[in-house]
Amino acid sequence: MPELESKEHSVPGTDLLTLDRQMCFALYSASLAMTKLYKPLLSELGLTYPQYLVMLVLWERDGIRVSGLKERLHLDYGTLTPLVKRLEKQELLVRQRSPEDERQVILRLTQRGRSLKEAARRIPEQVAGVSGCSLAELEELKTQLCALRNRLHSHLDSHPEERA
Amino acid sequence: MPELESKEHSVPGTDLLTLDRQMCFALYSASLAMTKLYKPLLSELGLTYPQYLVMLVLWERDGIRVSGLKERLHLDYGTLTPLVKRLEKQELLVRQRSPEDERQVILRLTQRGRSLKEAARRIPEQVAGVSGCSLAELEELKTQLCALRNRLHSHLDSHPEERA
DNA sequence: CTAGATTAAATTGTGCACAAGGTAATCGCG
DNA sequence: CGCGATTACCTTGTGCACAATTTAATCTAG
């Protein structure tokens, strides 16, 4: 039976263009809500959410280049350059050109940047407590989201022409 | 063999402050990747991704107020007011003050705005095809994300004081 | 060794996302 | 009725996010 959608109705429940049917909106609104949840916790550290992500990378591997952040976070230089400069202004890191290749900017944590990690340690459990999910649930969801993201990235990488 | 975690804590795999352990980063990066996937499709319609969400709401219920968008999309006036003005500039809708309550701004689709829905009909399947997931998978993920988002929203609503 | 290509990062401009503060319209209570 | 509170929206300022362009350093072919 052809579902004549003529003017949006006739057959009920067949219009795909509704907000609540969009996986993308579920993803988008969940992501914004999660960022709002972090905001008061991170503001105690003087960080925004993207800045926190950069610090997570640096706490794992100090001395990384901006291009390393770009790869790890999938953000571009237009986002990262000013963000890293704000972290430098807060004296959490220093930016220095690589002596071997003057194009590269190396990021090194200051003492202040390293010690901020101790203050940040309590954040994961605070968030877990408030998000109202079991750890297993969160782990499962994380796995699925990473899989989705990786599929999207590989598609985006292999079809760069469609970036109208 | 225990991989001595630099100076943090001797016991391997116990540092919670790493990027790949963060559910929030999986969510954040998946959301950004999804938006990039939509971008070339939406740019054919002359829409950004948040503008598309607003149009979805209006296609469902024309004549809604800005406060209706605010509730539905969980975005605030600082985001919605200029966004809606850009849609008006593109002649997809008109903004008019309610005669009964001059504070309210009513949004009505123009003919152009209504007919854009037909051009948008092919978007959901294009996205589904490219996202590399079965419809069942996407549906399942959507359900989980909505549940998470709703828990976060109810927490955020009930603890507005922690919005430092 | 040098001209063109490539790379790493920065800059500029647009559009979110949201906090903070402001204004005008409406409501509610005495 | 009148006045304080609330509501709906707007404005300003900050910080992403990214396209497009630019700059400077490095690489590669010839």
Reported as a single tens digit per residue, the pLDDT across A54-113 is 999 999 999 999 999 999 999 999 999 999 999 999 999 999 999 999 999 999 999 999
- The answer to whether strand C lies under 7 Å from the CB of residue B159 is no
Question: Is A74 among the domain residues?
Answer: yes
Smallest CA–CA separation between B80 and chain A, in Å?
15
A 58-87, residues with C-beta < 7 Å of strand D: 74-79, 82-83, 86
Among A68, A65, A30, A69, smallest CA distance to A52 is for A69
Question: Is A149 among the domain residues?
Answer: no
What CA–CA distance (Å, rounded) separates B83 from B107? 12
How high is the pLDDT of residue A11?
A: 72
Residue A134: C-alpha distances to residues A125, A141, B30, B46, B153 (Å) = 11, 11, 21, 41, 17
Question: Is B163 among the domain residues?
Answer: no
Domain harbouring B67, CATH code: 1.10.10.10
In this structure, what DSSP letter does residue B5 have? -
Among B59, B107, B67, smallest CA distance to B86 is for B107
Among A132, A22, A3, smallest CA distance to B72 is for A22
Phi, psi of A65 (to 5 degrees): -95, 165
Is residue A91 classed as helix, strand or coil in its secondary structure? coil
How high is the pLDDT of residue A140?
A: 93
Reported as a single tens digit per residue, the pLDDT across A48-68 is 999 999 999 999 999 999 999
Q: What is the pLDDT along chain B (164 residues), one digit of tens a residue?
A: 444 444 544 576 689 999 999 999 999 999 999 999 999 999 999 999 999 999 999 999 999 999 999 999 999 999 999 999 999 999 999 999 999 999 999 999 999 999 999 999 999 989 988 887 788 888 999 999 999 999 999 998 887 656 54
Does A16 touch chain B if contact means CB atoms closer than 8 Å? Answer: yes
pLDDT mean over A144-150: 96
CA quadruple B13, A94, A74, B20: dihedral, nearest 10: 10
Nucleotide nearest to B107 (CA to C1'): D9
Smallest CA–CA separation between B34 and chain A, in Å?
7
Whole-number Å distance, CA B101 to C1' D4? 20
Whole-number Å distance, CA A125 to C1' C7? 41
Query: B25 and A38 in contact (C-beta within 8 Å)?
Result: no
Q: Which two tokens stand for residue A20?
A: 């609540």
Question: Is B153 among the domain residues?
Answer: no
What CA–CA distance (Å, rounded) separates B53 from B55? 5
- The answer to whether strand D lies under 7 Å from the CB of residue A48 is yes
Is residue A100 classed as helix, strand or coil in its secondary structure? coil
Query: B106 and B98 in contact (C-beta within 8 Å)?
Result: yes
Question: Is A148 among the domain residues?
Answer: no
What CA–CA distance (Å, rounded) separates B135 from B137? 5
What CA–CA distance (Å, rounded) separates B107 from B88? 9
Question: Is A121 among the domain residues?
Answer: yes
What CA–CA distance (Å, rounded) separates A82 from A141? 32
Query: B52 and B34 in contact (C-beta within 8 Å)?
Result: no
Does B11 touch chain A if contact means CB atoms closer than 8 Å? Answer: no
Note down the domain range covering B100.
38-118
Total tally of structural domains belonging to chain B:
1
How high is the pLDDT of residue B36?
A: 97
Give, for B118, the enclosing helix (H) or strand (E).
Answer: helix B111-120
Question: Is B29 among the domain residues?
Answer: no
CB atoms within 10 A of CB B65: 16
Among A118, A116, A142, A143, smallest CA distance to A128 is for A142
How high is the pLDDT of residue A12?
A: 66
CB interface of B with A, residues 99-138, below 8 Å: 117, 120-121, 123-125, 127, 130-133, 138
What CA–CA distance (Å, rounded) separates B55 from B116? 9
Q: What is the mean pLDDT of chain A?
A: 91
Question: Is A51 among the domain residues?
Answer: yes
pTM: 0.92
CB atoms within 10 A of CB B52: 20
What CA–CA distance (Å, rounded) separates B3 from A105? 29
Q: Which two tokens stand for residue B151?
A: 């828990």
